Amino acid sequence: MCLAGAGLRHYVASLPRLPQEAAILRSATVIRFRLTLLAGCLAAGLAHAQEAVPPAVATPLPTTTMPGPAGQGTPTVPVPAQAGAAPIQPGAASAATPTASPRKTLVETPGDANDVDTVSLPAKPAAILAGRAKWEEAVPSLKAAFQRIEADLAKAGIAPVGRPLAVFAKTDDDGFQYDAMIPIAAMPDPKPAETDGLRFGTTPSGKALRFPHRGSYDEIDGTYETLTAYLDAKDVVVQDRFIEEYVTDLNDKADEKLDVNIYALPK
């Protein structure tokens, strides 16, 4: 089951649709290109939204829109046995090794698995790694990016405290650009310089609509279809990016137990 739930699907189906919605949902591009899909379904309301939205709200965060260096890949790095825990010094007793605290989601209150809810995303300090991937390589690329961040944080003795995030900023026919993020407890002081593409910044913040996805990553486009239909029926215009927060580990695109929060930020 990949859609947000039967209750949401019935609710969306009962809402009045805009004239162009049927054509949008019939398009094959709807299923594959998320941001292209969103831009098409909201084109009718864009002019009105630009008049009503303050520039400060409509401007995307600078830390989530810059692509990585051209041609730079993201190497696969083994995840440390206890990601986020301080490295054990030679000679230190291993019997008293503390257990790492559970990673928290941006919004700790769980959402309704069958419905959309409005939340307020806090700005969290995070380690960020920009990347680019082809559509069919989404899961391996994101997984490798998170592993690289985890390894670098472990080397620096910085503890991750939040669930991994992917901010999708740009798409094209071949693939997409993203910022992989892992929230940390506090910004390092002094703030480290960017090293091999890894930098420190903050997670996207502000009012957001949270859409749940339960099921394999192969089927996540179905949730985006539901999301788009909801935004279209409600005449909501959002920023040109989506945020995916992986409540469970992103290990395999066929994992039916995958739990993802998808956030859309209204303009």
- Using a pLDDT cut of 90, give the percent of the chain over it: 54
Q: What is the mean pLDDT of the chain?
A: 75
> Looking at the domain assignment, is residue 77 inside a domain?
no
> Looking at the domain assignment, is residue 83 inside a domain?
no
Question: 230: which DSSP letter?
Answer: H
Give the span between the Cα atoms of 105 and 58, in whole angstroms: 24
Amino acid at 12: V
CATH number reported for the structural domain that contains residue 164 in this entry: 3.20.80.10
Total number of residues shown for the chain: 267
Amino acid at 252: D
Q: How many domains does the chain have?
A: 1
- Does residue 248 have a pLDDT over 50? yes
> Looking at the domain assignment, is residue 221 inside a domain?
yes
> Looking at the domain assignment, is residue 15 inside a domain?
yes
| Of 179 and 101, more confident | 179
Residues sharing a CB contact under 8 Å with residue 70, sequence separation 6 or more, in sequence order: none
> Looking at the domain assignment, is residue 80 inside a domain?
no
Task: Tell me how far CA of residue 266 lies from CA of 42, 76, 119, 209, in angstroms.
Answer: 12, 34, 11, 8
> Looking at the domain assignment, is residue 76 inside a domain?
no
Give pTM, 2 decimals.
0.66
Section 17-33 average pLDDT: 41
> Looking at the domain assignment, is residue 88 inside a domain?
no
> Looking at the domain assignment, is residue 85 inside a domain?
no
| Of 27 and 250, more confident | 250
Give the span between the Cα atoms of 262 and 4, in whole angstroms: 10
State the residue range of the domain holding 158. 6-68+102-266
| Of 201 and 30, more confident | 201
